[in-house]
Chains A and B, each alone.
Chain A
């Protein structure tokens, strides 16, 4: 081959590599940016007075005196709205029956929209559902709720052969000429005084339990559940995996049985996670009844089976990578096999084993399918360690899926969903960073 051709090929190859890396980086940016931007929206956002009320009522947070003053200010700003409604009601009562009718439905719709924005009318009975006891807690939600108050949406189906068109009309049109007419400009102009938005860092989002199925509060039980499941899985997988690897590398005599075992382990690594989930349900729960219901224990055991092959393979590679000379030196000094393994081979292989362990930890934290049937629930309290043996728990991975597919009011709580995704990604990322640091430190120590 001519030198020039070779150079050309070389250059072509390296540019291909660059492009590949570029595409990967771009994909990472495209995936991570919305997660980080929208996920941090669960922690740092402009909260309204309603958020402060929730915090105070449900978690005893905030300064009671200052909240009372703020509440009084807000109530004063909102009072004209309720006065106008009352005035309109008297106006209605004075109307002849026939005139009253068209306003009835419109008024009900308006009251509903206002309740979504401001919460229940002061002085009236408190609703049972917590979600109805408060208005919009976030400024971004406030904008949407305000829009609900100010405009009505209807669909124009005048042409039955085409898709309908959305017609947005100002709600004020329904109340032209009545005492409610000034309500709409008033609400629009005074929305800040009525809601008092201000920037808040709601870091407790990570630790709070959720109220009224994730509509208020944080993701504490989910985070804790994920930690339990991950640590539990590792608690079972690490000893089993490392011991199996030591046996395979140091004790087992190479032969048909061992190579068959190796094939089995590789196959196990390729089994889809949902199969592990169903196995966990069938074996741990329905056959040996490890707990009365789904439980963290059953989930952790299932997850440990899932990551076991990874741990075994990583440990095996790490052990095989220890130079033969180490082992021979130890043996020549009179150390037995056990002593050699424990004092020479394992410490030298530790960085590699740790890498495998942490990678599988990341996997265990993020897996959904194995825990659907064995451990995960939609809502539940944070568990104490002992309760984890017998009780199920919410977990980040499952609840992300649950919120986006099964929650009845998902559009109201997108921020919670993104907050969970953000937290899960952050947890996995942190685990990996931790692994890199540990690995670096141990190898440094080994080198002396």
Chain B
């Protein structure tokens, strides 16, 4: 027993003498999460002396983490609000935005659902609870199960801003906590409707045309697809040139960064 304790103590001592490494702490949006995780993997492979941790707790939490000074990079899937800027300034933190990708916010239904196309108006009415059955928009006779994100989510706020135009989402809507959860809920419920980031669309769910336009790189870039938005990473001030954080938040500008953003399913801001 004593031996075990002694050896454990020695191990600890050895471990403690190892080199302290740089760290980058990333928090925030579950939509930007896949990009941040891929960037982190790529970055750490090139710079083994940097430890990057990524948490996906939602845009709201990301903004709070940044203004409380507990993260280096905050992922947001919406711009920071003026109240958040004020709170950050009060803590002597100056948020600087880096737009790392564009996203189309597709409206998702179960692939069994024959609906292919909805107008913004119809989507709004579905979410306000005015339309409650798929047959009212030309589908089968089936009650609509409305799935939406939690209010902490940037995706929710984008949706609220671009689709809901200040109308309240129906009380019957089901609130879930992440993009993955939206997809999971939609892929298991034939009558469901939901929305998530483009990177979360796979063949288990179907993205609808909105106002006759399918969300794709071209239609999002030109603004034809109506529900589109930039994805942000925020830092406290512009990071010191050459620092690890600087290299990390400018990764999206490189060719490899563009490929990663593209392959994950989002739309890069660069075009090499």
Contact present for B70 and A285 (CB under 8 Å): yes
**In whole Å, how far is B146's beta carbon from the nearest beta carbon of chain A?**
18
Q: A160-B139, A406-B179 are in contact. Are A128 and B259 (CB under 8 A)?
A: yes
Interface string of A158-187 (1 = CB under 8 A from B): 011111111000000000000000000000
CA distance A383 to B199 in the complex (A): 30
Contact present for B51 and A406 (CB under 8 Å): no
Contact present for A163 and B16 (CB under 8 Å): no
Contact present for A405 and B177 (CB under 8 Å): yes
CA distance A109 to B170 in the complex (A): 39
Answer yes or no: A408 CB below 8 A from chain B CBs: yes
Contact present for B112 and A211 (CB under 8 Å): no
Contact present for A292 and B70 (CB under 8 Å): yes
Answer yes or no: B174 CB below 8 A from chain A CBs: no
Answer yes or no: A376 CB below 8 A from chain B CBs: yes
Contact present for B263 and A293 (CB under 8 Å): no
Contact count A vs B, C-beta below 8 Å: 150
Contact present for A408 and B34 (CB under 8 Å): yes
Contact present for A129 and B180 (CB under 8 Å): no
| A294 and chain B: residue at smallest CB distance | B70
CA distance A38 to B65 in the complex (A): 37
Residues on the B chain within 8 Å of A260, using CB: none
Q: A164-B112, A385-B12, A391-B23 are in contact. Are A378 and B70 (CB under 8 A)?
A: no
Residues on the A chain within 8 Å of B57, using CB: 372-373
Contact present for A163 and B53 (CB under 8 Å): no
Answer yes or no: B102 CB below 8 A from chain A CBs: no
Which of A132, A153, A405 is B263 in contact with, Cβ under 8 Å?
A132
Segment of B40-48, B124-132, B227-235 engaged in the interface with chain A? B40-48
Residues on the A chain within 8 Å of B98, using CB: none
Answer yes or no: A127 CB below 8 A from chain B CBs: yes
Which of A164, A213, A293 is B38 in contact with, Cβ under 8 Å?
A213
CA distance A164 to B256 in the complex (A): 40
Answer yes or no: B135 CB below 8 A from chain A CBs: yes
Residues on the B chain within 8 Å of A130, using CB: 41
Contact present for A384 and B41 (CB under 8 Å): no
Answer yes or no: B161 CB below 8 A from chain A CBs: no
Contact present for B180 and A292 (CB under 8 Å): no
Answer yes or no: B18 CB below 8 A from chain A CBs: yes
Residues on the B chain within 8 Å of A160, using CB: 114, 138-140
Residues on the A chain within 8 Å of B140, using CB: 160-163
| A282 and chain B: residue at smallest CB distance | B68
Interface string of B178-206 (1 = CB under 8 A from A): 11110010000010000000011011101
Contact present for B180 and A384 (CB under 8 Å): no
Residues on the B chain within 8 Å of A286, using CB: 68, 70
Residues on the A chain within 8 Å of B96, using CB: none
CA distance A293 to B64 in the complex (A): 12
Residues on the A chain within 8 Å of B15, using CB: 384-386
CA distance A376 to B206 in the complex (A): 32
Contact present for A406 and B70 (CB under 8 Å): no
Residues on the A chain within 8 Å of B71, using CB: 293
Interface string of A280-319 (1 = CB under 8 A from B): 0000011000001110000000000000000000000000
CA distance A16 to B264 in the complex (A): 56
Residues on the B chain within 8 Å of A391, using CB: 23, 25, 51, 53
CA distance A406 to B56 in the complex (A): 8
Which of A372, A380, A386, A409 is B54 in contact with, Cβ under 8 Å?
A380
Answer yes or no: B226 CB below 8 A from chain A CBs: no
Contact present for B37 and A163 (CB under 8 Å): no
Answer yes or no: A345 CB below 8 A from chain B CBs: no
Residues on the A chain within 8 Å of B33, using CB: 378, 406, 408
Answer yes or no: B239 CB below 8 A from chain A CBs: no
Contact present for A163 and B114 (CB under 8 Å): yes
Interface string of A358-395 (1 = CB under 8 A from B): 00000000000000110011111101111100111110
Contact present for A129 and B263 (CB under 8 Å): yes
CA distance A128 to B39 in the complex (A): 10
| B141 and chain A: residue at smallest CB distance | A161
Contact present for A155 and B263 (CB under 8 Å): no
Answer yes or no: A140 CB below 8 A from chain B CBs: no
Contact present for B55 and A392 (CB under 8 Å): yes
CA distance A159 to B61 in the complex (A): 45
Answer yes or no: A410 CB below 8 A from chain B CBs: yes
Contact present for A405 and B44 (CB under 8 Å): no
B contact set with A: CB distance below 8 Å: 12, 15-16, 18, 20-21, 23, 25, 27, 30, 33-34, 37-38, 40-42, 44, 51-57, 61, 65, 68-72, 111-114, 116, 135, 138-142, 177-181, 184, 190, 199-200, 202-204, 206, 256, 259-260, 263-265
Between-chain CB contacts (< 8 Å), 6 pairs: A213-B41, A294-B25, A294-B70, A380-B51, A380-B53, A408-B34
| Besides A127-B259, A381-B51, 12 other A-B contacts (C-beta < 8 A) | A128-B260, A160-B138, A161-B141, A294-B55, A379-B37, A379-B53, A381-B44, A386-B15, A406-B179, A407-B180, A408-B33, A408-B265
A contact set with B: CB distance below 8 Å: 127-130, 132, 153, 155, 157, 159-166, 211-213, 285-286, 292-294, 372-373, 376-381, 383-387, 390-394, 402, 404-411
